Structure 1
Amino acid sequence: MELYDCFASTLEQPAWILALSALGLLSLLKASIAALRWIFVSFIRPGKNLKRYGSWAIVTGATDGIGRTLAFQLAHRGLGIVLVGRSPDKLFDVSAAIREKHPNAQVETVLIDFASDLVEGVARLKKAIEGMDVGILVNNAGMSYPYAKYFHEVDEDLIKDLIKVNVEGLTRVTHAVLPGMVERKRGAILNIGSGASTVIPSDPLYAVYAASKAYVDQFSKCLYVEYQDKGIDVQCQVPLYVATKMASIKRSSFLVPSANTYAQSALQWIGYEPTCTPYWPHSLIWTLISMLPVAVVDKWRLGFCLRIRKRGMLKELEKKKQFECRSAASEDSCSCLTAFSSDVHDL
């Protein structure tokens, strides 16, 4: 009887209170499901057997950072590796290092300078992989600004190279490798994007870089839908800061993982969602940022990037003055170095 009275009194409440209560319960249920799913995909869900996609993996930008580490870890999992990079010496060194660590690994190299000989380089890649059972393509090659800059300060050569490397290069390599995957009815494409285009609302002073990575994300989503029923998994990973040369970060930390730590997470996610942030602390940051007002995040990010711009300009001016000193070969001409920072007090 008491239960009936309680239920009856609940029904007597105004409709708006009942509606708010229902919305609250639904929101709580949705948040609980999202939290449980996050725990599952971050810590419990097993990674896929990558060899089922094929016996070879292609890694672009394989001589440094995330690309280099992914190449080593893919070789550790028993795949043959096609290293793609622009430096013959670095390609040789990475190839030798992989063979030393994994004596049974098959390693091939293809020279491509994405900024200068892209068309010819992709032709070399197509020839090199003829007859290969290429199962995985990692589009990791990319470039960013030397430091934060207003758009009007970015020179035309940098704009051209950013688009050529980050957009055209990734597109052409994918177009060269994909037909073989379609023929074999299996494959996985991993495109390395950036939190600059997805996690944060905007990335001021890195406009062209962020926009080029937004292309990578949308391109990946479209291919994910196009080729899902052909046995090909396409994914864009959007990490935040990783301790790499391109990010100009030397020391890793809990929130800024090393390339090796990030790569371990990255391989666990291949073949699942079309867009993801594999390193779990990064996904927590993404959640927190999404809860803040866009204007607040934009203001914080602009201030952060302005500080990067100032440090970059100071370093650039210092290098310029050191060069002038060496050219003059005079001790007196170097006295300006003690006060060089005053030249950029208004940055």
Structure 2
Amino acid sequence: MMASHFYGMFRQDDPAPAPAWWFQSLAFLGAAYVAGVTLRLLAYVALCLGGPKDLRRYGAWAVITGPTSGIGRAMALELARRGLNLVLVGRDPARLREISGTIRSRHGRVQTKAVVFDLSLASTPDGDQPLRRLREAVAGLDVGVVVNNAGEGRPGAVYLHEADVEAWVRMARVNVSAVTEVTAAVLPGMVERGRGGAVVNLGSAASEAIPSFPLYTMYASTKRYVAQFSRSLHVEYANKGIHVQCQTPFFVETTMLAKLEEEVGLSVSPLKVSTDTYAHAAVAWIGRGGPLCTPGGLLHQLMWCITAAVPESVLDWIVLRFTTWNRGR
């Protein structure tokens, strides 16, 4: 009797219970996410294997802002290595002369022009004359590439009501107004020449990979403008052959990141790439892919996929705890 009872419990011909609808839904979402990650990584590999693109087909000259240090310096040297002449836009004449000399010493055939322009004066009466100088400098030049690299990261780790108003207005001028004005100064020539072109705007993963960046609200908000500005211009000028792109790096060895690491007493060395590594990848992506990209290598692609998998509420909690802790330090 007991044997037959146990036999009935373990009969093999009983149909298996159907999976719950929520389990099926989770399985579908998981499969869709894995497929999305795979496609993103495959697209990245395909771009990397596509070979170098001759940016001189757009024009012989490139304009780059903030070329004297960090990512901007590395990108200026990489553009020069690819044979592009450079219009260097920055606020410090001595440092502009230094990078110009370095470019000429390494790439003798490359020409440079320096335009002194404190981009924190953009959209102010004091910025009118430097903007005119920039327009005059590019007039008649075959400018095919623009790199809006200059950016301002301060103030940070502060509530908006506590920040110095002039400090965050300065940030908005550099990160928003200057990007807009420099692009607008160069686009007419690109359109008139009819050879297409490429506009690269440096954004940040802080505004695209994570849903919020509390206590760095102004910085993230200005970088979100850069991303939307790039997306819209990409569509607006696509029929003219002008490719507009916002590049959104994660961790790159810059002065800004070094200061942040010093403040928080925490190193992100395993997650960051050198400026030279980033510049090589970033220049290779110019004119490729869509209006938003993360060209910091496979590591940065994986970081983007990981942040996309984490619920927004969890990311909000983590980032707020980190920035609040940083504020306390």
- In the other structure, the counterpart of 2:277 is 261
- In the other structure, the counterpart of 2:78 is 73
CA–CA distance in structure 2, aligned partners of residues 156 and 191 of structure 1: 25
Relative to structure 1, is the Cα distance of residues 210 and 235 closer, same or farther in structure 2, using a 3 angstrom cutoff?
A: same
Q: For the Cα contact (< 8 Å) 2:157–2:323, is it kept in 1?
A: yes
CA–CA distance in structure 2, aligned partners of residues 172 and 107 of structure 1: 21
Q: For the Cα contact (< 8 Å) 2:115–2:133, is it kept in 1?
A: yes
CA–CA distance in structure 1, aligned partners of residues 268 and 86 of structure 2: 27
Relative to structure 1, is the Cα distance of residues 51 and 152 closer, same or farther in structure 2, using a 3 angstrom cutoff?
A: same
Letter matched to residue 274 of structure 1? P
**Deviation (angstroms), 1:103:** 1.5
Q: For the Cα contact (< 8 Å) 1:47–1:267, is it kept in 2?
A: no
Q: For the Cα contact (< 8 Å) 1:76–1:102, is it kept in 2?
A: yes
CA–CA distance in structure 2, aligned partners of residues 29 and 149 of structure 1: 39
Q: For the Cα contact (< 8 Å) 1:143–1:246, is it kept in 2?
A: no
Q: For the Cα contact (< 8 Å) 2:155–2:163, is it kept in 1?
A: no
Q: For the Cα contact (< 8 Å) 1:236–1:276, is it kept in 2?
A: yes
**Deviation (angstroms), 1:258:** 1.5
- In the other structure, the counterpart of 1:292 is 310
Letter matched to residue 258 of structure 1? S
- In the other structure, the counterpart of 1:222 is 232
* Worse-superposed segment, 166-175 or 301-310: 301-310
**Residues 105-148 of structure 1: CA deviation (Å, up to 9, x unaligned):** 11111000011343221110100111100010000111011541
Relative to structure 1, is the Cα distance of residues 46 and 32 closer, same or farther in structure 2, using a 3 angstrom cutoff?
A: farther
Unaligned runs of 5+ in 1: 1-11, 312-347
CA–CA distance in structure 1, aligned partners of residues 314 and 26 of structure 2: 27
- In the other structure, the counterpart of 2:58 is 53
- In the other structure, the counterpart of 1:194 is 204
Q: SS at 2:255's partner residue?
A: coil
Q: For the Cα contact (< 8 Å) 2:154–2:168, is it kept in 1?
A: no
CA–CA distance in structure 1, aligned partners of residues 201 and 16 of structure 2: 53
CA–CA distance in structure 1, aligned partners of residues 248 and 28 of structure 2: 32
Letter matched to residue 278 of structure 1? P
CA–CA distance in structure 2, aligned partners of residues 308 and 20 of structure 1: 40
- In the other structure, the counterpart of 1:246 is 256
**Deviation (angstroms), 1:300:** 1.1
Q: Point out 4+ residue stretches in structure 1 off by more than 6 angstroms.
A: 12-23
CA–CA distance in structure 2, aligned partners of residues 33 and 296 of structure 1: 21
- In the other structure, the counterpart of 1:305 is 323
CA–CA distance in structure 2, aligned partners of residues 26 and 157 of structure 1: 46
RMSD of aligned alpha carbons: 2.5
The answer on 1:39 being equivalent to 2:37 is: no
- TM-score, length of structure 2 as denominator length: 0.84
- In the other structure, the counterpart of 1:206 is 216
Q: For the Cα contact (< 8 Å) 1:139–1:192, is it kept in 2?
A: yes
**Deviation (angstroms), 1:28:** 3.3
- TM-score, length of structure 1 as denominator length: 0.80
2:286 to 270, 278, 283: 270
Relative to structure 1, is the Cα distance of residues 175 and 13 closer, same or farther in structure 2, using a 3 angstrom cutoff?
A: farther
- In the other structure, the counterpart of 2:7 is none
- In the other structure, the counterpart of 2:10 is none
- In the other structure, the counterpart of 2:247 is 237
Identity %: 45
Letter matched to residue 78 of structure 1? G
Letter matched to residue 162 of structure 1? M
Give the number of equivalent residue pairs: 300
**Residues 43-86 of structure 1: CA deviation (Å, up to 9, x unaligned):** 43334221111110110011111111100000000000111100
Superposition pairs of residues 135-150 of structure 1, within 5 angstroms: 135-150=144-159
Q: Whose relative contact order is higher, 1 or 2, with alpha carbons under 8 Å and at least 6 apart?
A: 2
- In the other structure, the counterpart of 1:281 is 299
CA–CA distance in structure 2, aligned partners of residues 252 and 91 of structure 1: 30
